[in-house]
A and B are shown apart, each in its own frame.
Chain A
Amino acid sequence: MSAKKANGEAVPQKIEEKLYQNRYLVDAGRPHVRIREYAEPSAELRRLVNVCPAGCYAINEQGKVEVMPDGCMECGTCRVLTAESGDIEWNYPRGGYGVSFKFG
């Protein structure tokens, strides 16, 4: 159940709570999205922190952009945004793995 205010209105959810509703089969140890080696994160890479609808990207304490694709919905937005800069390596998960929508 999502949190509700006294008037029944939904409280804004954290992205983790949204993803918790979804069904995934994680291909352990074989992430389908990887960030290529870099010295300084590019503008495109930094943008992914906000633009990814699953919040898979984060900036760590060292100021580096990291990706944790376990909650990825395989939309491809990050792939399209970095197609020119080449910041990431994006493949579909192996057959059968990844998100599996119940309703779609």
Chain B
Amino acid sequence: MPQERFDAIVVGAGPAGNAAALTMAQGGLNVLQIERGEYSGSKNVQGAILYADALEKLIPDFSEDAPLERHVIEQRIWVMDDTSHTGMHYRSDDFNEQRPNRYTILRAQFDRWFSSKVREAGATLLCETTVTELVRDPKGRVIGVRTDREGEAILADVVVLAEGVNGLVGTRAGLRKELKPRTVALAVKEMHFLPQDALEARFNLSGDSGVVIEAMGTITKGMTGTGFLYTNRESISVGIGCIVADFARTGITPYALLDAFKRDPSIAPLLVGSQVKEYAAHLIPEGGYNAMPKIFGEGWVVAGDAAHLVNAVHREGSNLAMTSGRIAAETIIWLKRRGEECTARNLAKYRRRLKQSFVLKDMKKYRKIPDTLHNNPALLGLYPRLLSKAAQTWLRVDGKDKRAKESEIL
């Protein structure tokens, strides 16, 4: 194979990589995208919620043919103790709109579709190929990649690292520090299938509408983390995730934690009779703004989970991934059109633009959250129990007068 030089190489075909590759291909750049899975999506795991806004900026009419599960009309937030949940439910018919705000999706199917759009736009996709290292020139500037396929290095003017949370290429090249057990969560998830009509009856749904439940409390057994349950068309994604350092400290196995969550009296009735068809595990970067690495350098940028761009409080990640991938790509296109090189100095524009967007504004807003959660374990154990006890004391009619109940609660 003759040595072909690309304008850009994108490592990874998840939301960040696909957003970057699509944008650059549409901008007329000669793009090579490399994915280690059999197809885009085959290695990717998420809850998963798709936020329409970030994708509309890439593919305005995506809802016409994207594999979407349900548009979300109801969000439940449950604070749980061992026998109860105290819930905040928000359901609105306003979410039944022409262009719904968020959808549940299945990542293996969604990413594959997204990837087809990237190829239609003209990018070259090389699947089943693992990037093993970056190639640098004598001055240290990144000029390409090596893969586990036979052959020479593949060269490009810039490399976009969209290799995910557990991305080895950038880490091993020393572009960012190793993840710390305290800054990443391990989430495990199962796919539970149910007949569509049974699922809709169980969640009071019709048409393509859906419900998501985010849960916290004693379900994580003193560890920092959350559980979730999302309705898909004819399946339910149910999972739970906690900080890796907490799993290591407690010795609780992730699958036992998930099984206990599934057996919880608030969750179990929602899953009755379902058939499990997949079990998945994935890391989530939860260190927030303070755990973010440097996101650009000589001949490279990093986007998405690899850049630690997750808003853990709002359970947002794929939208930050798509937006960072797009903005990285727009920066590269802008430089190309001006005939400027992809030096660190020039690529700094990527970070400046990200700073003006919701991505870094939100990351910055919640920068203290990871430490707050770490330093206040009562938030996920004691407080949920107190809340439940208070609610139960108040609601149980047992001959005690209400003033006595008030003083018992307070």
- Give the residues from 83 to 139 in chain B that come closer than 8 angstroms, CB to CB, to chain A: 106-109, 111, 127-130
Name the B residues within 8 Å of A102 (CB-CB). 108, 277-278
Name the A residues within 8 Å of B235 (CB-CB). 103
Asked if residues A53 and B254 are in contact (CB atoms below 8 Å), the reply is: yes
Name the A residues within 8 Å of B272 (CB-CB). 8-9
Cα distance, A75 to B184, chains bound together (Å): 11
Name the A residues within 8 Å of B108 (CB-CB). 101-104
Asked if residues A21 and B277 are in contact (CB atoms below 8 Å), the reply is: yes
Cα distance, A103 to B268, chains bound together (Å): 22
Q: At the interface, yes or no: A77 with Cβ under 8 Å from chain B?
A: yes
**A15 closest partner in B (C-beta):** B255
- Give the residues from 56 to 103 in chain A that come closer than 8 angstroms, CB to CB, to chain B: 73-77, 79-81, 83, 90-96, 98-103
Cα distance, A98 to B314, chains bound together (Å): 32
Name the B residues within 8 Å of A76 (CB-CB). 165-166, 179, 283
Given contact pairs A50-B252, A50-B253, A94-B148, A101 touches B107 in the complex (Cβ within 8 A)? yes
Q: Which of B40-48, B212-220, B288-296, B353-361 contacts A (4 or more CB under 8 A)?
A: B40-48
Given contact pairs A92-B168, A101-B43, A104-B107, A18 touches B255 in the complex (Cβ within 8 A)? yes
Given contact pairs A15-B255, A80-B283, A92-B168, A21 touches B276 in the complex (Cβ within 8 A)? yes
Cα distance, A102 to B46, chains bound together (Å): 12
Given contact pairs A51-B247, A95-B128, A21 touches B283 in the complex (Cβ within 8 A)? no
Q: Which of B16-24, B25-33, B185-193, B333-341 contacts A (4 or more CB under 8 A)?
A: B185-193
- Give the residues from 226 to 269 in chain B that come closer than 8 angstroms, CB to CB, to chain A: 235, 244, 247-248, 251-256, 259, 262-263, 268
Asked if residues B128 and A96 are in contact (CB atoms below 8 Å), the reply is: yes
**B169 closest partner in A (C-beta):** A92
Asked if residues A101 and B248 are in contact (CB atoms below 8 Å), the reply is: no
Cα distance, A25 to B130, chains bound together (Å): 15
Query: Which one, B36, B278, B283, contacts A77 given CB within 8 A?
Result: B283
- Give the residues from 266 to 311 in chain B that come closer than 8 angstroms, CB to CB, to chain A: 268, 271-273, 275-283
Asked if residues A77 and B244 are in contact (CB atoms below 8 Å), the reply is: yes
Asked if residues A80 and B253 are in contact (CB atoms below 8 Å), the reply is: no
Asked if residues A12 and B259 are in contact (CB atoms below 8 Å), the reply is: yes
Name the B residues within 8 Å of A103 (CB-CB). 106-109, 191, 235, 277-278, 280
Interface centre among B107, B180, B248, B273 (most CB of A within 10 A): B248
Name the B residues within 8 Å of A90 (CB-CB). 168
Name the A residues within 8 Å of B186 (CB-CB). 51, 53, 75, 77
**B281 closest partner in A (C-beta):** A53
Asked if residues A83 and B44 are in contact (CB atoms below 8 Å), the reply is: no
Given contact pairs A21-B279, A96-B127, A83 touches B179 in the complex (Cβ within 8 A)? yes
Cα distance, A83 to B282, chains bound together (Å): 17
Cα distance, A2 to B43, chains bound together (Å): 24
Name the A residues within 8 Å of B168 (CB-CB). 90-92
**A51 closest partner in B (C-beta):** B247
Q: At the interface, yes or no: B149 with Cβ under 8 Å from chain A?
A: yes
Q: Interface 1/0s, chain A 38-55, versus B by CB < 8 A?
A: 000000100100110111
A70 to chain B, nearest CB (A): 14
Given contact pairs A95-B129, A96-B38, A104-B44, A12 touches B181 in the complex (Cβ within 8 A)? no
A28 to chain B, nearest CB (A): 16
Q: At the interface, yes or no: B61 with Cβ under 8 Å from chain A?
A: no
Name the A residues within 8 Å of B190 (CB-CB). 18
Name the A residues within 8 Å of B191 (CB-CB). 103
Cα distance, A54 to B191, chains bound together (Å): 16
Name the A residues within 8 Å of B165 (CB-CB). 76
- Give the 7 A-B residue pairs with the shortest CB-CB distance, closest first: A96-B128, A76-B166, A104-B107, A53-B281, A104-B108, A18-B279, A95-B128
23 residue pairs from A and B, CB less than 8 Å apart = A10-B268, A18-B190, A18-B279, A21-B278, A22-B278, A25-B38, A50-B253, A51-B254, A53-B254, A75-B281, A79-B166, A83-B178, A92-B168, A93-B36, A94-B148, A95-B36, A96-B36, A101-B41, A103-B109, A103-B278, A104-B44, A104-B109, A104-B111
Q: Given A12-B259, A13-B255, list of 6 further CB < 8 A pairs?
A: A21-B278, A51-B186, A51-B251, A76-B179, A96-B129, A102-B277
